[in-house]
Amino acid sequence: MSETTETTTTTTVATTSGVTVADMQEYLSVDEQDDLLATLISMAETDVISKIDDSIDASVYRANDLFNQAVRTLVDFTYNSRGGLSDSELAYPPAYLYFINSIKYRIKSEVDDETES
């Protein structure tokens, strides 16, 4: 008798399109709010990029997992802080600032490495 061995491989594909409305609907557990979420995603991407280096193409940022998590975090914070939904007096969530600091030099370093090649 022969033995058969089965191997399962899990592949994680990097998101190169950045955060989408569908991603945020799942992240926030909401079914609607397409226009609002699209606006918040755009605002969050602009905010993150402006804090790092706005001369770098947005596609470079969108390929970075930490950038996408920073966008999700800011969209979540802003979505849940609108109107009277939050008693928070913070301008930004602490995790967001952590992500910004974590990716600030990584993104610039990656771009510098690519231009030197």
- 36-64 pLDDT per residue, tens: 999 999 999 999 999 999 999 999 999 99
pLDDT digits (tens, 9 = 90+) for 103-114: 888 887 888 777
Of 44-48, 66-70, 86-90, give the lowest mean pLDDT range: 86-90
In the prediction, which pLDDT does 62 show? 95
pLDDT of 114 reads 76
Instruction: Name the helix (H) or strand (E) containing 40.
Output: helix 34-52
Q: Residue 62: CB partners within 8 Å, gap ≥ 6?
A: 15, 16, 17, 18, 19, 45, 68
Q: Give the confidence band of 15 by pLDDT, cuts at 50, 70, 90.
A: very low
